[in-house]
Structures are given as structure tokens and as C-alpha cells.
């Protein structure tokens, strides 16, 4: 999962019943499939992890 900065609003449809809208200017950690489509659509650029974010993600059980 890469860090992506969205340069345009982008709608990603991971399934036939779900659409996720990413807004221009947001920098997020997104699934690879989303990143690939956003990059191909020129709606995002790859970036580094934002300063102040530890990079350690844990799941609540």
C-alpha cells in the first residue's frame, strides 16, 4: 500500500456496490489497486509518508 497525494478528486470503485471518493490535496495510504488507477488517471502522484506519521499501523481486535 503506497502513499499517494491526490491532485484531482478521484472516485475508486473497489466493488460493484462501493465507491470511495478521494479529494484533491489529500495525502493517504491507499490500496495498491486504487493507487495504480489514480496514477493512470493522472489524479495522483506518489509521495513519501507525511512527517509526523509513525508508519506503525495496528489493528484493533
Q: What is the pLDDT of residue 55?
A: 67
Q: What is the pLDDT along the chain (61 residues), one digit of tens a residue?
A: 899 999 999 999 999 999 999 999 999 999 999 999 999 999 999 999 888 877 676 667 6
For 53, half-sphere exposure in the C-beta direction (CA atoms, 13 angstrom radius) is 10
Q: What is the pLDDT of residue 58?
A: 67
C-alpha cell at 48: 513519501
Global pTM value: 0.81
Amino acid at each position: 500500500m503506497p502513499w499517494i497525494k491526490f491532485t484531482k478528486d478521484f472516485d475508486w470503485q473497489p466493488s460493484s456496490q462501493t465507491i470511495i471518493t478521494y479529494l484533491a490535496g489529500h495525502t493517504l495510504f491507499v490500496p495498491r489497486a486504487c493507487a495504480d488507477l489514480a496514477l493512470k488517471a493522472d489524479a495522483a502522484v506518489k509521495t513519501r509518508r507525511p512527517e509526523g506519521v509513525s508508519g506503525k499501523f495496528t489493528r484493533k481486535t
